[in-house]
Structure 1
């Protein structure tokens, strides 16, 4: 016979979700923005090591690499660690809606919404946005990029992946992938991408489980991912043009001066 006494406390004094945002200022194109991000919230059973402390750490390391090399990006590089992803991309959707654009109507900024008759309220910063890169599929190496149906980025990304062929990053797929924060950008016509990663134990052991702990992190894989993330972000910040966009997923467009 086993008796257990459990004492639990609900911390409900502050029910607001938070994003954590930082910048590396740009130079001649500093009013244009390149973003990289990952969510830092997690399920309660483990400590969220692979979902998604791993992605958060890679984003921070990518920014550190750019800073440590003394690079001066043309565009401003903005790092975002999102809250509320596990409840439905709440942090990234709110951020995109507040700063860039939001869908008007019952679906709001619902990721993946493709209502051709939806209105999209465009803010001035929408035009200044160059691209977003997300990491949220565990601790595994980067193997390529999901292009989210944006065929125009293929030759650009192919050239950027070329130096990392020996690291195993070679794949570009036109496919969409879902379930994470790049969808908040894609839903309003902004170029947002998730990297393809080795699954390692993500789907079979760690994802949303009590085994999502530090011991499951693969340090060498995360170093590889950090280098590739830094390269893609820096290349986006330095090219003459912003990344190509797909057609705006909704009409008509309502301009907003806010």
Structure 2
């Protein structure tokens, strides 16, 4: 990666260009050292009058997770509009599609034989309700058969049973814990056994002739009473919580510890029984929205600086770091800008996108529905990978991005700026988050990439992504960064270049790299 304020190496006519770059660098450093009253006021407002904690409490604790199609998603949309309007910012909910409406109810899972124990677990999103007294049934382990023919012969045995379809983990301790306390030989032995067990389970699944998506449906058709799984996220007490594929029987996820207990009891012939109460409500077809707010530009109102974060989440917890924190950053930046910089040159627009988790659908719909805005974008700043302070900024493949991004970054306080590594021209985002929707359409859009804070294991799509995982000092830093970047992009007398870099050859195919194509959103989801 390139260091901050350091443009890419230029070939040919070396001396004049080096002189030009040296002058550019000196000018940018001089600019950074010149105090800007707007920048100073942004920093002061963010540090002395921060609204982040109260906004986080309202969104994560009071509203909760924001699964597309859920009442909480609609509640969050309306809440955000009210917040913006209370700050004097024009805001609206813009419909872009429809989704299967679903409302989570109480999950209660108990071991009732051979002993009693309440188990830690929950139904997956869009799991059918158990209704009435729920489901009580014996458990059975997914068979290890020779091939798909043998599996079809085995399938009738699942009738009336709860089928365990996940591999039991050999250890509930994450690797860092083993590394700290185990002998080297013991650690290596565990890893070898786990690798062999994982491969054996992969083959077991493969020989059924089904995939992780189609297997639950086949078991449901064969008369299973329910699906029990455990999607461990390689950390203490943490599982990934995604969606169910069954339509009539419940699909539940158990903690590693309790899944292992039930699996061992089943394997040893104890014939354990579980009682599952998984309440949920089907809500038919419901509209889906993006929440849009804007501070109108005074000199170039038809040119746009866009702040971007997806609003939806999975609902294993409350979606605090994916992407509650990105949402808070953009809301706080807009609040600060309205107070400190109420008359921007260009329009500053914020998009809180719906259904990012199912394929960037909200932002793709916005790009498709608003070509007049996309054609006039000065820059998009997107944040969507956890609570950490921003430490990476890529040029997204735009050849001259180093010129304007470095010019804007020069105004950011050194304690924030110096932690950011830049990479120019970088590579265009292929679909990891909503900036990719704009990049595919040729608009300069950039991901504000954050420090990890164990995001991948502990909070990304997990049952532990809650308010207490937010590092508010880092989020505050990101709000300051975003507000200053938006201010600088709005004020810049020049329009950003959209010239694309020549992408490197694809190492796998040997073919020249190609710019990501613009994909259509799914505008009617979960209804097939």
1:164 is displaced (CA, Å) by: 3.0
1:50 is aligned to: 321
How many positions carry a matched residue from both structures? 228
User: Superposed, which structure 2 residues align to 1:200-219 within 5 Å?
Assistant: 200-219=453-472
Provide the C-alpha distance between the structure 2 equivalents of 1:157 and 1:32, rounded to a whole number of angstroms: 17
1:158 is aligned to: 406
Alignment counterpart, residue 485 of structure 2, candidates 220, 223, 232: 232
User: What secondary structure, in the 3-state scheme, does the structure 1 residue paired with 2:287 have?
Assistant: coil
The answer on 1:143 being equivalent to 2:391 is: yes
Higher RCO (CA 8 Å, separation ≥ 6 residues):
1
Alignment counterpart, residue 442 of structure 2, candidates 189, 193, 200: 189
1:42 is displaced (CA, Å) by: 0.7
1:14 is displaced (CA, Å) by: 3.6
Higher helix share: 2
1:191 is displaced (CA, Å) by: 0.8
1:7 is displaced (CA, Å) by: 4.3
Provide the C-alpha distance between the structure 2 equivalents of 1:61 and 1:125, rounded to a whole number of angstroms: 23
Alignment counterpart, residue 299 of structure 2, candidates 24, 28, 40: 28
1:103 is aligned to: none
Q: Is the 8 A contact 1:191 1:246 kept in 2?
A: no
Provide the C-alpha distance between the structure 2 equivalents of 1:156 and 1:129, rounded to a whole number of angstroms: 14
Q: Is the 8 A contact 1:134 1:195 kept in 2?
A: yes
User: What secondary structure, in the 3-state scheme, does the structure 2 residue paired with 1:137 have?
Assistant: coil
Alignment counterpart, residue 421 of structure 2, candidates 150, 171, 186: 171
Q: Give the TM-score of the pair, scaled to structure 1.
A: 0.82
1:238 is displaced (CA, Å) by: 1.2
Q: Deviations over 1:234-258 (max 9, x none)?
A: 111111222221349599xxxxxxx
Q: Deviations over 1:85-113 (max 9, x none)?
A: 0000000001100102xxxxxxxxxxxxx
User: What secondary structure, in the 3-state scheme, does the structure 1 residue paired with 2:406 have?
Assistant: helix
User: What secondary structure, in the 3-state scheme, does the structure 1 residue paired with 2:393 have?
Assistant: strand
Provide the C-alpha distance between the structure 2 equivalents of 1:20 and 1:136, rounded to a whole number of angstroms: 16
1:5 is displaced (CA, Å) by: 5.0
1:243 is aligned to: 496
Q: Is the 8 A contact 2:375 2:443 kept in 1?
A: no
CA 1:7–1:143 in 2, change beyond 3 Å: closer, same or farther? Answer: closer
Unaligned runs of 5+ in 1: 101-123, 252-258
The answer on 1:9 being equivalent to 2:280 is: yes
User: What secondary structure, in the 3-state scheme, does the structure 1 residue paired with 2:366 have?
Assistant: helix
User: What secondary structure, in the 3-state scheme, does the structure 1 residue paired with 2:283 have?
Assistant: coil
1:131 is aligned to: 379
The answer on 1:65 being equivalent to 2:318 is: no
Q: Deviations over 1:132-174 (max 9, x none)?
A: 1100010000124121111301122223223333224331113
1:4 is displaced (CA, Å) by: 4.3
Provide the C-alpha distance between the structure 2 equivalents of 1:142 and 1:76, rounded to a whole number of angstroms: 24
Q: Give the TM-score of the pair, scaled to structure 2.
A: 0.41
